[in-house]
Amino acid sequence: MRDVAIVSYAQSRSVRRELGANEVEMVMPVVREAVERSGIPKKQIGFTVSGSCDYLAGQPFSFVSALDAIGAWPPISESHVEMDGAWALYEAWVKLQMGEVDSALVYSFGKSSMGDLPEVLTLQLDPYYLAPLWPDAISLAALQARAFLERTGRSERDLAAVAARSRRDAKASPRAQLAGDFDVERLLADPYLVAPLRKHDCPPISDGAAALVLAAGDLARKVARRPAWIRGLDHRVEPHQLGSRDLTTSVSTAEAGRRAGVGKGAVDLAELHAPFTHQELILRDALGFGDGVVVNPSGGALAGNPMMVAGLARFGEAAERVMRGDAGRAVAHATSGPCLQQNMVGVLEGE
Amino acid sequence: MSEAKPVRAISTPIRLEYSYTAGRASTRFLRGMAQGRILGQRCPECGKVYVPPRGSCATCGVPTEEEVEVTGKGTVTTFCIVRIPSENLSIPPPFTCAHILLDGADLPFFALIQECPFDQVRMGMRVEAVWVPKEELGPTFECIKHFRPIDEPDAAYETYKEHL
Amino acid sequence: MERCAIVGIGQTKHDTMRIDVSLPGLLREAIAKAFADAGVSWGDVDAVVVGKAPDMFEGTVMPELYLADALGAAGKPILRVHTAGSVGGSTAIVAASLIQAGIHERVLTVAYEKQSEGNAMWALTVRIPFQQAIVAGAGGYFAPLIRAYMTRSKAPEDTGIRVALKDRLNALKNPTSHLVFPDVTYEMIRDSPLLWDPIRYLETCPSSDGAVAMVMTSEAAAKKAPNRPAWVHATAMRSEPTMFPGRDQVNPRAGRDCAAELYKKAGITNPRKEIDCAEVYVPFSWFEPMWMENLGIAPEGEGWKMTLEGATALDGDFPVNMSGGVLSSNPIGASGMIRFAEAAIQVRGQAGEHQVPDAKRALGHAYGGGSQFFAMWIVGAERP
């Protein structure tokens, strides 16, 4: 396997509604920053992949206009996945493993504010049996949360503690949308949104964009003082039908984590893509993280959840901390689909 | 009970509401439309003028900010005659659509040609924008109803062939 | 870089509406054929790569999530590629890269569209606020470019008719074809209604439901395959922006650069001679001469000569679209992969009545968007 590292990361501040800028205007500064910081001239970047979702943007072929933000001239080798940018990162990583190119630009964007996000996500469901009933994403998460609390004996207080910790940690991040000190008792006094979930258990609606640059081997060593090496990267999907799987565990996360080599060493910190509080606990269990592992120092998706970006952002945030020397070994995770149906896990290490 | 036929298909209507943002560059352009003006933007690196502007130069990948106003006069670079009805237009076919290079702009603009027999549209033909009445102006592309021929000699092929 | 083999290929019968199957049923029809060809089953697949055009064509968001069950993907990685019209091609390239990078031994890739389930026409022309309304449809976008090509190249006006005739005759030899005109003639095409001048009805692609699947493997796994594999010799992708000053949409640079990289990687210096046949994305008949020039098969301005000389006919010296092409079957998300698959079918000697005798190397080509996204591959009968 070829040594590939994340050598730069940039992300817009997550906002509830980006009214001024369209997708191109949102993506452009983020891509410029990531490329500039990478130290690799834009025209030398070997491959570009993006992640985005038409139904988020309310128009087909929505990724095409974003190409204007890149300056694709002379023509570039470029691809796109209709998935979170983490899967664009995966495609780019595979390309670098092939050996034909030495660097790649990965970017993703999403404006969840444009539509009714829970309803848009309902359309991810089985179009014959599930979608016509219109169960929204929050209700499905609540279903999972209920089952989780009952099986494990965790409490709503445990969930509120995740929310409070995440938003407190987010105070240190200039990119966070929801940050501040929240008292667990006060949170628990709030009414349910969809029981057993309260508003604080759910992610904010966010607009945003992110970009990062991958480089291989000597190129990474040349341009970055301390590249964040991707030592392992794997993703797995579970059955779609919610009744076919145990919603209270994340077997695909455990499997991806095993294949990525999470257990091969100590984990200093983990950025886990958990849009809902109970999902962080499910993911911790799946990856075998006890209380000693710092989770989501950035605040995670609970502090800012731009769809199609939040997964890539976990990789970017983890990579930044490795590159800064704040962590020697970090785990990044991304999820897609209802109730953690699909999961990606990566292990990042400094030298 | 009569024999029930197997269900072969179901119809599941979907309705989603979206709010769209024009973006900064489009906002400038559309406000210009509302004033009866055509506003483009020039790229600071290559100097080319985009009409309508998109906030970035697609080849240089940099933001475009310098505003450039262009007139509604231009040259047809290429065209086609549409003979089937269009979903988005109430004009009956046949009608002609063309790429029009506005004077001062560096890339063509797709538009409808009217006030001209559909089969007399030709490459190089000089045209001008026809606006809606002043009281109907608003922040929309529809301020320009169509383009019509003007009394100027056809542009020489060399002047527009790079835009073909 | 590892070698990648294609050991199984399957396609559905493409049609206007495949109401006889559900969405997963459509995919599994193609996959079952690919598995039978490859001598494998669900448990042998390590990863799945799905490709399709905008989700709005069917109304399911990110359908790889829903399809995970039907595609046997539980416990496996699944990816969904979306690069507009070229998606079928780029999906195949992503699938191949998983083998070439040594990550998996066996990858199932499938591309599809079941556009009868949604409203593809609506999705292609939907009015988006603050954007210019599309008044002329997809054909209306490309027709002016075709007129520009005709002016530049001074091609005879009936070149498009000849291409359409050839492709529609080829379709009669392909059992998966959607559009089948057993009595097609030059006059029938010439007299069909003009839609967007100069494009006639019978020079236009249909809107189809259909799917295509391929099983790709490593060299080691290919040894276990019962039928002769096709080998990936080279792949390339290029994109350029939709609109910029001076953009040549008739002979886009992205296409030329993509082909140049492709030939370089495959060690080809004279594509007309060294490639035996090609499956090229031609949704409107005039694109054949345009792509022949863009691909460097014919000199600039002379692509139409190949058509007129009969060079691109099934029995010509450079057959193009032996399958009947996009003009005969067009499930939008699948069309690019159908081109790639048909190229592989040729070098495996599996094309039956539309086989080019002794085809050793074939080109698969896909494009999308405003002639701005290109995906291409060269496959061969010999291991590279």
How many structural domains comprise chain B? 1
Interface residue B11 vs chain A (CB under 8 A): no
Distance of alpha carbon C281 from alpha carbon C375, whole angstroms? 10
What pairs with residue C203 in β-bridges? Answer: none
The β-bridge relationship of strands B38-42 and A342-349 is: unpaired
Q: Are residues A149 and A185 in the same domain?
A: yes
Residue of C48, C62, C91 for testing the chain A interface, max A β-carbons within 10 Å:
C62
Q: Are residues A235 and A221 in the same domain?
A: no
Which tokens hold the place of A118? Answer: 């829970």
What are the CA-CA distances from residue A232 to residues A48, A93, A121, A333, B10 (Å)?
21, 11, 30, 12, 44
Domain that holds residue C55: 5-120+207-222
pLDDT attached to residue B84: 85
pLDDT digits (tens, 9 = 90+) for C139-189: 888 999 999 999 999 999 999 999 999 999 999 999 999 999 999 999 999
What are the CA-CA distances from residue A190 to residues A137, A143, A160, A187, C104 (Å)?
20, 19, 11, 6, 49
pLDDT attached to residue B164: 64
Taking only residues 119 to 138 of chain B, the set having a beta carbon closer than 8 angstroms to any beta carbon of chain C reads 123
Residue C217 lies in a domain: yes
Domain that holds residue B145: 24-163
pLDDT attached to residue B92: 85
Chain A residues touching residue B25 (CB < 8 angstroms): 22, 25
Interface residue B163 vs chain C (CB under 8 A): yes
Distance of alpha carbon C28 from alpha carbon C43, whole angstroms? 15
3-state secondary structure of C231: strand
Residue C273 lies in a domain: no
pLDDT attached to residue B148: 95
Distance of alpha carbon C128 from alpha carbon A209, whole angstroms? 22
Residue C48 lies in a domain: yes
Taking an 8 Å Cβ-Cβ cutoff, which residues of chain A contact chain B? 18-25, 28, 31-32, 42, 55, 58, 65, 67-73, 111, 113-116, 119-120, 123, 127-128, 131-132
Residue C163 lies in a domain: no
Distance of alpha carbon A29 from alpha carbon B36, whole angstroms? 32
A268, containing H or E segment: none
| Residue entry with tokens 């359309």 | A123
**Which of the 8 DSSP states describes residue A126?**
-
Q: Judge if the upstream peptide bond of residue B52 is cis by omega within 30 degrees of 0.
A: yes
**What are chain B's partners, defined as 3 or more CB pairs within 8 angstroms?**
A, C
Whether B81 shows a pLDDT value over 60: the answer reads: yes
Taking only residues 63 to 82 of chain C, the set having a beta carbon closer than 8 angstroms to any beta carbon of chain A reads 64-69, 73-82
Average pLDDT, chain C: 96
Of B47-61, C9-23, C327-341, least confident by mean pLDDT is: B47-61
Question: E strands, chain C, where?
Answer: 5-11, 47-51, 78-81, 106-114, 194-197, 199-200, 209-217, 230-239, 277-279, 361-368, 373-380
- Phi–psi pair at A195, nearest 5 degrees: -55, 140
How many structural domains comprise chain C? 1
**What are chain C's partners, defined as 3 or more CB pairs within 8 angstroms?**
A, B
Confidence of residue C121 (pLDDT cuts 50, 70, 90): confident
Are C15 and C1 a contacting pair, CB within 8 Å? Answer: no
Residue of C60, C116, C243 for testing the chain B interface, max B β-carbons within 10 Å:
C243
Q: How many CB pairs under 8 A join A and B?
A: 82
Tell me how far apart the terminal alpha carbons of chain B are, to the nearest angstrom.
68
CB atoms within 10 A of CB B13: 6
Alpha carbon A273 to chain centroid, angstroms: 5
Domain that holds residue A107: 4-114+205-226
Distance of alpha carbon A45 from alpha carbon A216, whole angstroms? 11
Residue C10 lies in a domain: yes
Q: How far is A186 from chain C (nearest CA, A)?
A: 37
Q: Are residues A213 and A97 in the same domain?
A: yes
Per-residue b or e along C263-298, where b marks 16 or more CB atoms closer than 10 Å to that residue's CB: bebbebeebbeebbbbbbbbbbbbbbbbbbbbbbbb
Residue B42 lies in a domain: yes
Residue B3 lies in a domain: no
CB atoms within 10 A of CB C304: 26
Distance of alpha carbon B109 from alpha carbon B39, whole angstroms? 13
How many structural domains comprise chain A? 2
CB atoms within 10 A of CB C381: 19
Which tokens hold the place of C314? Answer: 């099934």
Are A22 and A223 a contacting pair, CB within 8 Å? Answer: no
Residue C246 lies in a domain: no
Distance of alpha carbon C375 from alpha carbon A334, whole angstroms? 28
Chain A residues touching residue B54 (CB < 8 angstroms): 24, 65, 68
Identify which of C380, C3, C8, C1 has the alpha carbon closest to the alpha carbon of residue C218: C3
Confidence of residue B86 (pLDDT cuts 50, 70, 90): confident
Q: Are residues A168 and A213 in the same domain?
A: no
> What DSSP string describes B72-98?
SEEEEEEEEEE-S--TT--SPSSEEEE
Chain C residues touching residue A341 (CB < 8 angstroms): 65, 68
pLDDT digits (tens, 9 = 90+) for B101-130: 999 999 898 899 999 998 899 999 999 999
Whether residue B14 and residue A123 make contact (CB cut-off 8 A), yes or no, is: yes
Are A99 and A83 a contacting pair, CB within 8 Å? Answer: no
What pairs with residue B68 in β-bridges? Answer: B40
Residue C193: CB partners within 8 Å, gap ≥ 6?
A: B83, B84, C200, C201
Confidence of residue C238 (pLDDT cuts 50, 70, 90): very high
- One digit per residue, the tens of pLDDT, for chain A of length 351 reads 899 999 999 999 999 999 889 888 999 999 999 999 999 999 999 999 999 999 999 999 999 988 888 989 999 999 999 999 999 999 999 999 999 999 999 999 999 999 999 999 999 999 999 999 999 999 999 999 999 999 999 999 999 999 999 999 999 999 999 999 999 999 999 999 999 999 999 999 999 999 999 999 999 999 999 999 999 999 999 999 999 999 999 999 999 999 999 999 999 999 999 999 999 999 999 999 988 899 999 999 999 999 999 999 999 999 999 999 999 999 999 999 999 999 999 999 997
Whether C272 shows a pLDDT value over 80: the answer reads: yes
Whether residue C247 and residue B107 make contact (CB cut-off 8 A), yes or no, is: yes
Residue B130 lies in a domain: yes
- Return the axis-axis angle of helices C332-347 and C87-100, rounded to nearest 10°: 50
pLDDT digits (tens, 9 = 90+) for C38-63: 999 999 999 999 999 999 999 999 99
Q: How far is A76 from chain B (nearest CA, A)?
A: 11
- Phi–psi pair at C249, nearest 5 degrees: -90, -10
Q: Are residues A157 and A286 in the same domain?
A: yes
Q: Fill in the amino acid letter for C321.
A: N
Distance of alpha carbon B77 from alpha carbon B154, whole angstroms? 11
Question: E strands, C180-271, where?
Answer: 194-197, 199-200, 209-217, 230-239
pLDDT digits (tens, 9 = 90+) for C5-17: 999 999 999 999 9
Domain at A62, CATH number: 3.40.47.10
Of C19, C132, C198, which has the smallest distance from its Cβ to B141's Cβ?
Answer: C132
Residue C56 lies in a domain: yes
Domain at C212, CATH number: 3.40.47.10
pLDDT attached to residue C138: 79
Are A271 and A330 a contacting pair, CB within 8 Å? Answer: yes
Whether B1 shows a pLDDT value over 70: the answer reads: no
**pTM score of the predicted model:** 0.96
Residue B10 lies in a domain: no
pLDDT digits (tens, 9 = 90+) for C78-88: 999 999 989 99
CB atoms within 10 A of CB B123: 21
| Residue A166: burial class (beta carbons within 10 Å; 0-12, 13-18, 19+) | buried
Q: What is the mean pLDDT of residues C81-97?
A: 95
Are B46 and B72 a contacting pair, CB within 8 Å? Answer: no
Identify which of C361, C284, C279, C352 has the alpha carbon closest to the alpha carbon of residue C320: C279
Residue B11 lies in a domain: no
Residue B66: CB partners within 8 Å, gap ≥ 6?
A: B41, B42, B44
